Amino acid sequence: MCGRTACTLAPDEISRACSYRSRGGQRRQPRWRDGDAEKYRPSYNKSPQSMSPVLLSQRHFDKSAPVDECVLASMRWSLVPSWFKQDDPSKMQYSTSNCRSENILEKKSYKDPMLKGQRCVILADGFYEWKKMEKDKQPFFIYFPQTRGPGQVKREDQEDTMGSAHNMGNLKTACSREALAEEGEAPGEWTGWRLLTMAGLFDCWNPPGGGEPLYSYSVITVNASPNLQSIHDRMPAILDGEEEVRKWLNYGEVKCLDALKLLQSKNILTFHPVSSLVSNSRNNSPECLQPVDLHSKKESKPTAGSKMMKSWLMSGSPLKRKGPNTCEIKDHESKSQTQKSTGSLQQWLHGANKKPRIN
């Protein structure tokens, strides 16, 4: 299953992190749907009913859009079927935060969206899962192994700077967070944390009495991969790489049965144990992600890298950062002032004394 995630990137960082190549070979950054960047809130501890970022085909909103155009949206975690008759989604008597891949075409809540091509990709730094112990449950943070390469792993005495300048259309202000391109980095290439891409289904519910439509989703789950079976018997269906993401989102050309073939158990994720703090959904701090020593039940001794990471999280918290359409540029701010990027997150995890376990 998947009952808790972390997504700590700011809206503009998410756009950069899930850039893709068009059919013409051009690198594109998906834009946010109007107003959706403000609905999303970065969090170290996301639970069902919260708003999370998802990637989907723009054709769901504009039938004339190019077949390969993607868009970012904020959707409520836990699918509310379009046919739900109550006036309040909280009145649903069953959970739809997860959808078993084996049952997609058997249950109406999921069959209808699947047959309509309402497929999406849920984005997250990673997800949490709890392993049953003798007297308790031990949480783990599970995520994509992060590639060590140019622009991604730096010496601990180096500062990691990032940012972007966005064309805001009619707006005259933009976030002055232009990335300092590193040697060997292609224009527009994201060199920070690689987001986990999970297959999902979404639906649109309209309140019976009128009001704003509610978009919501379910995370599709499959049997756990061999390296995760000791933690839990289920895991999210992972889409590995741009090609799988493209096929899953391309509901026009990739039909239902072919898309279902992408929902496989993949032995590609890595993990590390974390504090039981994450077990309470009200706890939302960097400590939720910090590796712990299972023998002492305490946090691992901090390294220079982890101290740097914690400093960045506390001072440049994504909870305090704003998306590209809400940033203001103040004249008195120094042009040299920069903000550390989430590339530090990857450096921190690889530099921790308790190394992540890999498949």
Q: What is the DSSP string of 168-189?
A: -TT----------PPTTPPTT-
Q: Which residue among the candidates 7, 70, 99, 129 is catalytic per the annotation?
A: 129
**Which residues are CB-contacts of 164 (< 8 A; sequence separation ≥ 6)?**
12, 16, 175, 177, 178, 179, 324
Which is nearest to 81 in space by CA: 107, 120, 117? 107
Rounded distance, CA 25 to CA 6, Å? 31
Cβ neighbour number for residue 241 with a 10 Å cutoff: 9
b/e per residue, 151-168, with b = 16+ CB within 10 A? Answer: bbbbeeeeebbbbbebee
Q: Which residue among the candidates 2, 18, 288, 327 is catalytic per the annotation?
A: 2
Cβ neighbour number for residue 196 with a 10 Å cutoff: 22
**Which residues are CB-contacts of 92 (< 8 A; sequence separation ≥ 6)?**
78, 80, 84, 86
Active site residue 129: yes
Active site residue 2: yes
Catalytic residues: 2, 129
